[in-house]
Amino acid sequence: MQKKTSNKPSAASSGQILLSFLFLLFACAAPCQSAWYKSNCPRSQKQAGVWYFGEKAGIDFRTGSAVALTDENVMNALQATSSICDSMGNFRFFTNGRIAWDRTFSRMPNATVLDGYPGVTQPCLIVPYPGNESLYYIFTIDLITYDHNDSTKYTTKGLSYTLIDMKLRGDSGDAVSAVLNKPLLSPVCQKITAVANRDQKGIWVIAHKWESNEFYAYLVTNAGIASPVISAVGSTHSAVSKLARNNAMGYMKCSPDGSKLALAITYDKLIEVFDFDNGSGKLTNPKSFHVAKSVLNPYAIEFSPDSLNPYGIEFSPDSKKLYSTVLDYLGGVFPRRPTYIFQFDLVNGLNTPVIIDSVAGVRMNAMQLAIDGRIYLSRTNNHNSKRDSLDVIYNPNRLGTACNFNLLQHVPGSRFDLSGRKSMYSLPNFVQSYVNIPPFTWDSVCHGNNTQFHITNTANIDSLTWDFGDKGTSGIPDPMHEYASPGKYWVKLTEKFNGQAYTDSMQVSNYPLPVISLGDTVLLYAGSTINLHAGGGFTDYLWSTGSPDSVINVNSQGSYWAQVKDYHCCINSDTTFVKVFEYFIPNAFSPNGDGINDFFRVNGLYKNIDFNMVVYDRWGQQVFQSDDIDKGWDGNVGGQYCPPESYVWIVHIGFLGQDIITKGDIVFKGTVTIVR
């Protein structure tokens, strides 16, 4: 909780504050986060925090470090799977495209015959239903099966979707029977990817039609799945021969920032990259690289046309580099040629890739960026010859071999051990926005707080320097820094490894605390109530009374505090004292012209009121009336002195403002005696 600039709430109300804070913490969590935007709201981006894939393999990234999981014993997945957590990292479920399992590894009863074919490259993808954390879509892709007697005929269920409701089966989740295996498009390639749209309120799900050059982009919002945006661009994915049917294979990925899309057309040996407009859903500006034929490829002689094919695809966290695995996909049980890993610097296009490494005797297929900022690669030969580790590109934002393939802290061959489980060809498929992770993050953006900085990927750093943008520096991995004044500061992190420096900069905003002023003392008339205002434009309010409203109405004397939170989740509070107003109405006056107590009037009332006072003699005759709060009775009526005796008075007060609220006019009554 942030520092307060005024009086703190009482200790008696601290429990209310804690409960409110916990509520706000979960209310702030959002399924999609803007690109590297930072607020102080307790939020997370851990939807891709748990992986289940391959032969009962798993990884947990939620603590910030990858930990192998050995608790799942139900799934063997040859190709890509999909798993999902909520935004705070609570694991929900996973699927291989045919079956969905819940968080206890039990099958969801209505989700055991999904239309995904587990042998295609990307058979499934889980996409949250925007605006409802209980609902998820599973998009599935079926195999294109050709007729053995007629090569022009085939069958496939194509691209379909199923709705999962996590409220079913006691919050364990199940498929909604009415939304099971709903068809979208057929025939399609074995590729599907997704990324958040520009305003972060929806998710684009993108597939490629078979025997076509058309991309179909479906926008998923809280209104459901919209009609597709179709882009006819790039190469046609089709088969001119039986082997060319493998053009349906190969991965397709959006860049984490949503600006690009890349894919592998496996048999034709093509890697293609497109600009993606995540506002409109359109793909444009195709760029293509042919693994064997590119005249600019210095390795063209080695890559004979019948040997190596692109397959795995992944972007770096900064979306500026593209990686692809190129392998002997059809070479039998054991590959005849090594698997190569290409890195493309997208600033320079696709013409000058760098081979960052090659590995003989094994096929590296799937590639997936994780929330720890590293790219993991599956290792296998076929479904009978599997490996119990993953290859790792430890620093994918760094150019060339400095990306450190299987090199960790100067130790070569540093793979990720799966604790006896196997990867096969598979890794999970995610909405790519969930791995849009900045090089460093920070906690607390509200002025007066210490800002804690964290490095996302700590691999291969010999030394480092932080420049906080205000002449402050640090040389430790997770420093804490307090800014002297609110403002925007360019923070620079410089990492050094093997004598080379790598620098990342991001702008950090240090926001002022929200301004709240209740006033020191507020006066209250007995018998009335008054509104207390905490101010407008804040996202959340909490009063000492427990009210979450911006205005409360009080009718008793005492201290009242209000706590407000703004869009950036900066919190401030203020306290006021409501005091019952002590006005004075005399019970006697002496209208003798000596300048002392010559008039009868009500003293100390607010001016902003509707006022009326009437005075009666003992026979009930009116002797004085005034609507002017400053005009008092001088003891005369009609120019004649009234006798020295008691008189009855009645005062009516109506409040003109909106803050003081009564059921009617306030009425005061009493007697006053003239003394002569």
For every residue of 461-494, DSSP letters joined together read -SEEEEE-SSS-EE-SSS-EE--SSSEEEEEEEE
pLDDT one-digit tens code per residue, 284-327: 999 999 987 654 344 444 545 457 899 999 999 999 999 999 98
Sheet holding 451-455, edge to edge: 440-443, 451-455, 480-481
Cα gap 457→393, rounded to integer Å: 11
Is the CATH number of domain 11-27+513-580 2.60.120.10? no
* Close Cβ partners of 608 (under 8 Å, ≥ 6 residues apart): 655, 656, 657
Cα gap 204→228, rounded to integer Å: 10
Q: Give pLDDT, residue 278.
A: 95
Q: Quick one: CA torsion of 474, 475, 477, 481, rounded to 10 degrees? A: -10
Is the CATH number of domain 457-508 2.60.40.10? yes
Cα gap 160→180, rounded to integer Å: 9
Q: Give pLDDT, residue 105.
A: 98
In 10 A of CB 284, how many CB atoms? 12
Q: Which pLDDT band, with edges at 50, 70 and 90, does 593 fall under?
A: confident
Residue type, 168: L
Q: Give pLDDT, residue 386.
A: 79
Check for a shared fold between 11-27+513-580 and 457-508: yes
Helix (H, G, I), strand (E, B) or coil at 439: coil
246 DSSP assignment:
G
Q: Any idea which residue has 């490259």 for tokens?
A: 121
Q: Looking at the predicted structure, is the pLDDT value of residue 519 above 70?
A: yes
Look up the CATH superfamily of 45-435: YVTN repeat-like/Quinoprotein amine dehydrogenase (2.130.10.10)
Cα gap 574→513, rounded to integer Å: 12
pLDDT one-digit tens code per residue, 546-556: 999 999 999 89
Mean pLDDT value across residues 609-637? 91
Q: Give pLDDT, residue 25.
A: 29
How many residues can be counted in the chain? 676
Q: Looking at the predicted structure, is the pLDDT value of residue 388 above 60?
A: yes
pLDDT one-digit tens code per residue, 14-60: 222 222 322 222 233 333 333 344 566 655 689 999 999 999 999 99
Cα gap 5→561, rounded to integer Å: 12
Which segment of 1-15, 55-69, 563-577 scores lowest on mean pLDDT? 1-15
* Close Cβ partners of 222 (under 8 Å, ≥ 6 residues apart): 129, 130, 131, 132, 201
pLDDT one-digit tens code per residue, 401-434: 999 999 999 999 999 999 999 988 889 999 999 9
Helix (H, G, I), strand (E, B) or coil at 401: helix
Tell me the CA end-to-end span of the chain in Å, nearest whole number.
66
Q: Looking at the predicted structure, is the pLDDT value of residue 578 above 50?
A: yes
Mean pLDDT value across residues 47-76? 96
Backbone phi, psi, residue 641, to 5°? -65, 135
**Residue 303: CA atoms inside 13 Å, Cβ hemisphere, count?**
24
Tokens found for residue 150: 């007629």
Backbone phi, psi, residue 665, to 5°? -65, 145
Please provide the average confidence, as pLDDT, over all residues in the chain.
Answer: 88
Highest mean pLDDT among 148-157, 540-549, 628-637: 540-549
Would you list the domain boundaries of the chain? 11-27+513-580, 45-435, 457-508, 588-674
Residue 152 or residue 39, greater confidence: 152
181 DSSP assignment:
S
**Residue 242: CA atoms inside 13 Å, Cβ hemisphere, count?**
6
The pTM of the full predicted model, rounded to 2 decimals, is 0.79
Q: Give pLDDT, residue 349.
A: 86
Cα gap 120→123, rounded to integer Å: 6
Q: Give pLDDT, residue 657.
A: 62
**Cis previous bond, 187, omega within 30:** yes
Which of 186, 13, 155 shows the shortest CA–CA distance to 558?
Answer: 13
Pairing of strands 640-641, 636-637: antiparallel
pLDDT one-digit tens code per residue, 164-181: 999 999 999 999 999 999
Question: What percentage of the chain carries pLDDT values higher than 70?
Answer: 88
Q: Give pLDDT, residue 54.
A: 94
